[in-house]
Structure 1
Amino acid sequence: MRIEQLEYLAAVTQHGSLRRASEKLHLSQPALSEALTKLERELRVTLLDRRRSGALISREGRELLPYMSDVLSAVDRLRRAAGDQRPDARVIRLGTVHTATSTLLAPAVGTFQVRHPGTTVEVLTLSQAQIDEGLAEGTLDLGLVDVLDADDPPVGLDGVDLLHGRPVAVLPATHPLAARAQVSVEELRLERFVTMRAGHVMHRYVQRTFGRELPPVAHSTDGAEMGKALVAEGIGVTVLPDYAVLGDPLHRIGAITSRPIAGDRTFLTLQLRQRRSLQQPLPVRELQAVLAARARECRAQDAKASAAS
């Protein structure tokens, strides 16, 4: 009996069928089926009901699941304990919508690197939906997402608020609207627009704010970083959380600027997410603490700037 055979059966249970489990595991369906057949022979019990419409876990398989879950939990604890003892072997996978990357994420990773020089942080640019899915499935350790009007995290995930802000119009510094103290939704409708793709919270915000009257010429992209780059190149204007713009390199050098949206009362939050009731390895907990500390620094800097103005 191999541990991965138990993990395969757990995947079939989680995803509902042999086919979907093979897709999520990036394993061919015949190979997955063969591995589970060998497990059936060893245990002398039928674990899957194989039908023309697909293979599902059997009654006997469901009865054995609690015991298999105990084994997998024990193995997971062992692996994580080993990870705590060997931080040099640890890879932390963090999904982000790339908001506040230069002001929060990059400095935090730099600080973390000094403390854990042998630990790799793999940063993946994903949509919020992909991040939540990756956290739920265990393919991601942490996620940085934007939250619209205090949306609750999905079932099974916990969220820690890092930054709070408001949506702002992001413009090339030389754009005529940059001369205004604020811009209206009606003015933005007349502009070439860069929107986030479906799955990003700012896509939902734009759909809610503009309704059916979207700008006539619109481009779409993944992540705030590319959105700001397109704005800087004069491709169009966009809407992002203010904490994604203020302090950004393109903002500091004067390539882009931002303006409040007239009459808008929407609140946005940058949230750090993880799986609920999961004992994270020490390096992951340390990265969480570094991100939270950097967020406190950002909030203090914003408060100081507001007081000075």
Structure 2
Amino acid sequence: MELRQLQYFVAVAEEGGFARAAERLNIVQSAVSQQVRRLERELAVTLFDRSTRHVHLSAAGERLLPEARAVLAAADRARRVAAGVADGTDGVLRLGVIHSPGDRLSRGLAELTGVVPGLRVRLRQVPPAERLAAVREGRLEAALVRGQASVPGLRLIPLWSDPLLVALPAGHALAAEPRLRLQQLARLPLRLCPREKNPPFHDLITAACRAAGVAPPPGPPFTSLRETLSEMVADPPSWTVFYEVSGLPSVPGVVIRPLAEPAVVTSLVVRAAQLAAPVRQLLAVLTPDRPPGGPGAVG
């Protein structure tokens, strides 16, 4: 059974004859007759009573007509959905997200819903390594990553940057500074999370220290932010560096100051050089000032 056969069947039923149906369909009458007969043979029923000068639906044809119309309507809906998926106004965008992605993403997704209400975004919160693998394998169309300089075989599109923050004992001389530079912290032990816990962030900080010509002595390892800050109160002076995730903690005896540089960049990672339409729609609301097809890195 072909959609074309159902279309011809419905046209004959609605027009009351093969000639008028052919005229409506802009094809020859013999083609309409041939396809309707093929449909009748396949269904093993007679759809029209041809015993008079006028063509009338048979009982079988009368019963099957609403079903044929429903099939054609469903096919038309499928075409419209496919067209919407192709131009990014419909479909599903599976997006891997970082822990506490912040207000920028929430505002962007709210704006996206207003602009393209047919596009549904499914957020998936998974660890960074799994997030990248899911993009490579096509299980995610895109993912957010922080502090990632490059990803082999994938394209990175910078979205926004956030300042890094330094925490150090309130009694230390540097606590009076409104803003700190890495050179000022060179002699103070650094509490940095192990590389295996967060490779991009660890590499960002160590590369920044090398670029600044400093090598802070290693302090106790960074565990969780609140636990690390609490330990800093009682232990010998040290410092740690982090970015804000969900508000700044308040720990007596510890001060938090912005770090002059570097900043941590949040990027969108995608698989293909040619962005899918839903990804372009997302970028349009997250980076409204970016020119279409703007720059992005391929590692």
Question: TM-score of the superposition, structure 2-length normalised?
Answer: 0.48
Greater fraction of residues in helix: 1
